[in-house]
C-alpha cells in the first residue's frame, strides 16, 4: 500500500525544523531513518500531513564522548554504533546491542534517537539506555528539556515528548572508570525483533557493585526496568548467589504475553537465563569488548 499524501520538508537547521513542526500543530512528524515511520505510513497506521526530514540538520550531530559519558546525536545510525570503538568496555551494553538490531539495511538508516522516539516495547535501545542510565535531550517550542530515560517511556509507542519536540541527542551518563555490560537477545531469525532481550550494566566501586542496571525487551508494555534486581546487586559482591537472586527478580519483573514468538512462561525463563548469563559475563570480565 502507498502512504497517504503528505508535504515533505528538508530543513537544514534545527530552528527551521521546529518552525515547521510548530506550524503543523501536531500534524507533522519528524523523519529520521524512516525505518519505523515509513512502514507505519504504508500501512496507513500513521498519516501525518507533513514529514520534517532532519537528515540534513547536521547540528544534531552523531556519536561523541562527552565528560566521561557519551552524546549520541540524533543523526547517529545503528551502524555507527556497531562500528564505534567507543562502545566497548564501560559502554559494552551499547556495543553488544547495535549489531543485533534487525539487518544491515535497517542498521544503515535507522537511528538510536528515532528508536527511542518510536518507543516500541520491542525496541532494543530502550532497554540498553534504561540499563546504562541516560537522558534524552529534546528541543521544542519552549526551549531545550532533559528527560531522564526512566521517565521517558510512558506506554507502548508513547513517550514524554510533545508533538513538536525534536530529540536532539541521548546522553549516556558517565558510568565511572570500572564498569561493564552486555546485551543478550533471543530472536527467531536474524533481523527479527526480540522474543526477549536483557540489557545488563554494572559499575563497580571498591570491588563491589556500585550501580547496576538491568532492563528487559519484549516482555512488557514498555521496556522494563528490573528495579528489584538492580537493588539486590547494588553494594553486593557479584557472586553466584547474588547473580542468581538478581536473575530471579528480573524474571519476576517481566510481564510477558503469549504470542507467536513464545509463551509467557518461556519468555520469563529466557529473561532469567539471560540475566544470569549477562551478569556472569560482567563478573568474569567477558562483557562486550
Ligand X SMILES: Cc1cc2nc3c(=O)[nH]c(=O)nc-3n(C[C@H](O)[C@H](O)[C@H](O)COP(=O)(O)OP(=O)(O)OC[C@H]3O[C@@H](n4cnc5c(N)ncnc54)[C@H](O)[C@@H]3O)c2cc1C
Which three three-digit cell numbers place residue 204?
563497580
The CB-of-180 to ligand X minimum distance in angstroms stands at 22
Q: In what order do the strands lie in the sheet with 50-53?
A: 7-9, 50-53, 28-31
Q: Residues 84, 111, 195, 242: which binds ligand X (CB under 6 A)? A: 111
User: Binding segment for ligand X among 106-114, 143-151, 224-232, 241-249 (CB under 6 A)?
Assistant: 106-114
Phi, psi (deg, nearest 5) at residue 225: -90, 120
Would you give the distance in Å from CA 92 to the centre of its chain? 14
* 115 makes contact with ligand X (CB under 6 A): yes
CB of 70 to ligand X, least distance (A): 16
Show the binding pattern over residues 31-70: x = contacts ligand X (CB under 6 A), - = does not. xxxxxxx-x--------------x----------------
Cα–Cα distance, 233 to 279 (Å, whole number): 10
In angstroms, the CA 222 to CA 209 distance is 26
Give the binding range for ligand X (CB under 6 A) out of 107-115, 141-149, 170-178, 230-238. 107-115
Dihedral over Cα of 113, 114, 115, 121: its sign: positive
In eight-state DSSP terms, residue 24 is: T
What is the rounded CA–CA span in Å between residue 165 and residue 146? 12
| Binding residue (CB under 6 A) for ligand X from 18, 20, 30, 86 | 30
Q: Which of 10, 50, 106, 221 binds ligand X (CB under 6 A)?
A: 106
Contact 287, 92 (CB under 8 A): yes
CB of 208 to ligand X, least distance (A): 32
User: Would you count residue 175 as binding ligand X (CB under 6 A)?
Assistant: no
Question: 141 to 170, contacts with ligand X by CB under 6 A?
Answer: 166-167
Quick one: which of 101, 172, 233, 254 contacts ligand X (CB under 6 A)?
Answer: 101
Burial classification of residue 73, based on how many CB atoms lie within 10 Å of its CB (0-12 exposed, 13-18 middle, 19 or more buried): buried
Q: Which is nearer to ligand X, 35 or 182 (CB)?
A: 35
Nearer to ligand X, 27 or 245 (CB): 27
- Nearer of residues 137 and 203 to ligand X, judged by Cβ: 137
- Give whichever of 37 and 214 is closer to ligand X, judged by the CB atom: 37
The C-alpha cell that represents 244 in the structure block: 542468581
Q: Which of 20, 113, 129, 172 binds ligand X (CB under 6 A)?
A: 113
Q: Quick one: which of 132, 131, 101, 100 has its CA closest to 36? A: 101
80, 60 Cβ separation under 8 angstroms: no
Interacting residue with ligand X among 114, 175, 256, 278 (CB under 6 A): 114
Contact present, 62 and 76 (Cβ < 8 Å): yes
Residue closer to ligand X (CB basis): 54 or 246: 54
What are the phi and psi torsion angles at 170 (to 5°)? -115, 130
Name the minimum Å distance from CB 283 to ligand X.
27
Rule CB under 6 A: say whether 80 interacts with ligand X: no
Instruction: For 79-148, list the strands marked E by DSSP.
Output: 134-140, 143-148
Which residue ranges make up the site for ligand X (CB under 6 A)?
Answer: 29-37, 39, 54, 74, 101-102, 106, 110-111, 113-115, 117-118, 123-125, 166-167, 191, 193
Amino acid at each position: 500500500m502507498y502512504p497517504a499524501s503528505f508535504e515533505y520538508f528538508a530543513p537544514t537547521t534545527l530552528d527551521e525544523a521546529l518552525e515547521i513542526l510548530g506550524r503543523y500543530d501536531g500534524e507533522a512528524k519528524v523523519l529520521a531513518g524512516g525505518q519505523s515511520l515509513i512502514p507505519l505510513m504504508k500501512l496507513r497506521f500513521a498519516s501525518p500531513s507533513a514529514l520534517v526530514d532532519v537528515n540534513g540538520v547536521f547540528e544534531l550531530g552523531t556519536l561523541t564522548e562527552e565528560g566521561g559519558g557519551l552524546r549520541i546525536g540524533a543523526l547517529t545510525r545503528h551502524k555507527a554504533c556497531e562500528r564505534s570503538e567507543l562502545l566497548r568496555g564501560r559502554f559494552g551494553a551499547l556495543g553488544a546491542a547495535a549489531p543485533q538490531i534487525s539487518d544491515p539495511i535497517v542498521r544503515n538508516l535507522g537511528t538510536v534517537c528515532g528508536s527511542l522516539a518510536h518507543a516500541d516495547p520491542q525496541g532494543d535501545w530502550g532497554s540498553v539506555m534504561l540499563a546504562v542510565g541516560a537522558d534524552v535531550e529534546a528541543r521544542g517550542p519552549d526551549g531545550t528539556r532533559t528527560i531522564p530515560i526512566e521517565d521517558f517511556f510512558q506506554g507502548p509507542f508513547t513517550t514524554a515528548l510533545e508533538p513538536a519536540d525534536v530529540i536532539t541527542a541521548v546522553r549516556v551518563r558517565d558510568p565511572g572508570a570500572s564498569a561493564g555490560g552486555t546485551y543478550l537477545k533471543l530472536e527467531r531469525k536474524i533481523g527479527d525483533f526480540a522474543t526477549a532481550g536483557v540489557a545488563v550494566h554494572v559499575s563497580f566501586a571498591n570491588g563491589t557493585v556500585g550501580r547496576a542496571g538491568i532492563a528487559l525487551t519484549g516482555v512488557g508494555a514498555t521496556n522494563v526496568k528490573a528495579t528489584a534486581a538492580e537493588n539486590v546487586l547494588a553494594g553486593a559482591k557479584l557472586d553466584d548467589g547474588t547473580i542468581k537472586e538478581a536473575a530471579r527478580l528480573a524474571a519476576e519483573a517481566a510481564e510477558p504475553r503469549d504470542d507467536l514468538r513464545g509463551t509467557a512462561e518461556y519468555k520469563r525463563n529466557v529473561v532469567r537465563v539471560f540475566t544470569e548469563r549477562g551478569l556472569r559475563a560482567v563478573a568474569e570480565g567477558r562483557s562486550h569488548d
